[in-house]
Amino acid sequence: MSDAKDHNSMNRRDFLKIGVVGAAATAGLGGLSKIVEGVTASKHDIMPVYRTLGRTGLKVTIVSFGAMLTPDHEPMEAAFDLGVNYVDTARRYMNGRNEEIVGKALKGRRDKVYVATKSLPSSTTKKDILNDVETSLSKLRTDYIDVIQLHSLTSGDRAFMPEIREVLMELRKQGKVRFFGVTTHTNQADVLKAIADDPDKFFDTALVSYNFKSEMSVKNAIALAAKSGIGIVAMKTQAGGYKTDALGPISPHQAALKWVLQDTNVACAIPGMKDMTMLQEATAVMGMKMTRRDERILERYAEAITPYYCHLCAQCEPTCPQNIAISTINRSIMYAEGYEDMELARATYDEIPPHKSVYACSNCTECVARCVNGLNIAAKIQKAKTLFA
């Protein structure tokens, strides 16, 4: 058995016994050993670092747990035992199985971990939201949710629907939810500005896609929202996590995470962690500084993924005569190609109404939609047809 295989098969007990430094040293091969070389030399141990999650007042670890891709409870249990104290899941992930996995990991630790989940993107009525929350409570095996989030907003409209606000307040009074949040991938700056300018300050947190490829408008909107008291949680910190040969054996993931966390308007990041290796790589970043070497890694990585990375800004969509949901289509492709998760890709694509999906492209003989970042949209649409149609 190779060293790499030994490492990948490590369970939670072995992981906690060895710790980050020892485990990194035993990895021996691949990108992880390269990227944590400096960590090993400096005897860096995981020391949880905390920031305040906006007006919720919660003190959360800057590297928290994105559970969306985690297939079993053990990496989460190891993270919680190390002090990671915020976990993000959703009603939709893995068709509901993800909340069950999180619930299993929370057993005996519920008072030490803040739990954030999301209603279904299609939920817009009181009945929908009540059903989502009750189901989440059951799957998570808990009596309350710390942060309930409206999932995947593309504008501020849903956040201001009176029926939704009324049912959320009702759930808070019942003690079933504590704080309210939103999540967004598309038109993020507009969504953040809408909830930041809300005179009622109804929403407490925002989960946003943010990484070294993000537009300055998103960075500025994050700063505006944070200043208004909204706790910012960053996702998509790895810019799709695409594999590339451009960096040789070096992983760009720690550098990407450091880039996000150097922005103190971000309370925490929730990198997706499927296994112990990803857990080690991400949690080791707490307390580490961004270096010139990290900048060079990201420069090379950014150049490598530019031909296929979508910023999800949606500025292309008004240039499409069919007004199809190009940014969501591209996000679905990213889940398939970068995350290598076809189930998630398909689930995301299936949420697109037929008149906004690639089926609408049959009305055009040539794709005229244009990307401000030079992405070949016609090629992306063709890829989507291959994957999903």
User: pLDDT grade, residue 5 (50/70/90)?
Assistant: very low
CA atoms of 129 and 132, how far apart (whole Å):
5
- Whether residue 54 contacts residue 264, with contact meaning beta carbons closer than 8 Å, is answered with no
pLDDT for res 16: 62
pLDDT above 70 for 26: no
pLDDT for res 173: 98
Q: For the residues 177-191, what does the mean pLDDT come to?
A: 96
Residue 190 vs residue 245, higher pLDDT: 190
- Whether residue 116 contacts residue 84, with contact meaning beta carbons closer than 8 Å, is answered with no
pLDDT for res 13: 67
